[in-house]
Amino acid sequence: MYSAEQQLVKALPKMSKRASCEKLTKAFNDHLEQTKMHVERIGQAFEDLGKTAKAKKCEAMAGLIKEADEMMAEDADEDVADAILIGLAQKVEHYEIATYGTLCTWAETLGYKNVKTLLGKNLDDEEKADKLLSSLSKASNEAAKA
């Protein structure tokens, strides 16, 4: 997740720039700040485990970002592009939710309470981001349909 979050720090500004809906742009910008905090929390988790924070490239996130880059390059109506961006962002959120959920379970099982707390905060943020995207998708999909 350290690599995944670092990759997102680079990808979210591109998604924000491509979005035309002000609420979606704000959601991406707000999540960028959260993502920077996620990187810090993961670094703290490494420290708590007595390990040096280092990232092995997350190929899954790289694939999701590649897909997003390809889709953002498409010539689409602004409303359609926003609907696509939301779908792409939700794929990322669902991947993060699944991974953080697993990591939290492992941390709890192994008795790493502070690590579980740190990663649990990231999980909470991802779940909230997903809910926000779901609420934005309703209006976006209606606009794209028109």
Number of domains forming the structure of the chain:
1
CATH number of the domain within which 80 lies: 1.20.1260.10
pLDDT tens digits, one per residue of 48-67:
999 999 989 999 999 999 99
Which pLDDT belongs to residue 146? 66
- Four-point Cα dihedral 131, 59, 109, 115, nearest 10: -70
Can you give the residue range of the structural domain that contains 12? 2-145
Indicate the angle between helix axes 113-145 and 78-109, nearest 10 degrees. 160
pTM metric for this prediction: 0.92
Burial class of residue 89 in the structure, from the number of CB atoms within 10 Å of its CB (0-12 exposed, 13-18 middle, 19+ buried) = buried
DSSP class of residue 111 equals T
